[in-house]
């Protein structure tokens, strides 16, 4: 798993859940403030090329996009302009192809709901591009974290029911990051998806 500052808690929880499941081993790296717009901050495509694990993983989970609601420095393309959309889609698609070149499946997690309406609109715009680019590729699956973290009214929710139905805080006070319970919520969804995609059904009795 690779990602920005939304990823650390999910990496820890996914690793723990994987260990307890007995069939999945999860590792990862997170770099706060990173994405695919400002590669001078941290170059994820270069990292993926230079630090590719050996043996190659079956699955790569990506949590990137939260920091990408800004102008592209190459040409200073304004965020959400047609030129920006085209350039960002090309960059996202190329990175998806790069990851799919050594992993059997890529799961790209879209941004969750955000507490600030303006920032939330930015994330919805980015999610549409991520979802479309994933849909173009058989090896890539888009994971809808936006739907996972919205409340009954369809908007940002600070608290949501846990596995037992008890309301727990799933977001940090800043309205952006995930609480430990929120990280567990996302990790649980990822485990369910990966389990459904990769676990073989039990053999029929003789």
- Residue 167's pLDDT is what? 96
Query: For position 35, what pLDDT does the model report?
Result: 98
Q: How confident is the model at residue 200 (pLDDT cuts 50, 70, 90)?
A: low
Q: Which two tokens stand for residue 173?
A: 């006070």
Which of left, alpha, beta for 136 (phi over 0: left; psi -120 to 50: alpha)? alpha
Question: Percentage of residues in the chain with pLDDT exceeding 70?
Answer: 97
> Are 62 and 99 a contacting pair, CB within 8 Å?
yes
Tokens of 163: 């596995």
Return the bridge partners of 171, or none.
178
Token pair 């770099």 is found at: 31
Please state, as a whole number, how many other Cβ atoms lie within 10 Å of the Cβ of residue 6.
Answer: 25
| Cα distance between residue 8 and residue 169, in whole Å | 17
Domains and CATH numbers, the chain: 2-198 (3.40.50.1110)
How confident is the model at residue 55, as a pLDDT? 87
Q: Which of 154, 164, 141 is nearest to 112 (CA)?
A: 154
Q: Could you read off the pLDDT of 19-77 as tens digits, one per residue?
A: 787 888 889 999 999 999 999 999 999 999 999 888 899 999 999 999 999 999 988 99
Does 202 score more than 70 pLDDT? no
Beta strands in the chain (DSSP E): 2-3, 29-30, 59-63, 105-109, 140-143, 159-161, 167-169
pTM > 0.85:
yes
DSSP state of 104: S
Say what percent of the chain tops pLDDT 90.
84
| pLDDT tens string 139-175 | 999 999 999 999 999 999 999 999 999 999 999 999 9
């Amino acid at each position: 798993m690779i990602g920005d500052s939304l990823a650390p808690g999910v990496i820890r929880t996914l690793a723990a859940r994987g260990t307890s499941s007995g069939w999945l081993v999860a590792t990862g790296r997170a770099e706060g403030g990173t994405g695919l717009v400002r590669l001078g901050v941290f170059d994820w495509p270069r990292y993926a090329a230079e630090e590719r694990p050996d043996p190659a993983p079956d699955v790569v989970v990506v949590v990137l996009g939260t920091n990408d609601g800004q102008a592209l420095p190459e040409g200073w393309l304004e965020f959400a302009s047609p030129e920006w959309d085209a350039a960002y889609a090309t960059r996202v698609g190329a990175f998806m192809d790069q990851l799919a070149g050594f992993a059997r499946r890529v799961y790209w997690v879209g941004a969750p709901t955000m507490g600030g309406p303006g920032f939330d609109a930015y994330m919805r715009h980015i999610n549409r591009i991520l979802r479309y680019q994933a849909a173009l590729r058989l090896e890539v699956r888009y994971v809808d974290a936006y739907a996972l973290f919205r409340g009954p009214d369809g908007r940002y929710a600070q608290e949501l029911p846990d596995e037992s139905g008890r309301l727990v805080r799933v977001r940090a006070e800043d309205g952006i990051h995930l609480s430990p319970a929120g990280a567990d919520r996302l990790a649980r969804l990822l485990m369910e998806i990966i389990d459904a995609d990769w676990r073989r059904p039990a053999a029929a009795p003789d």
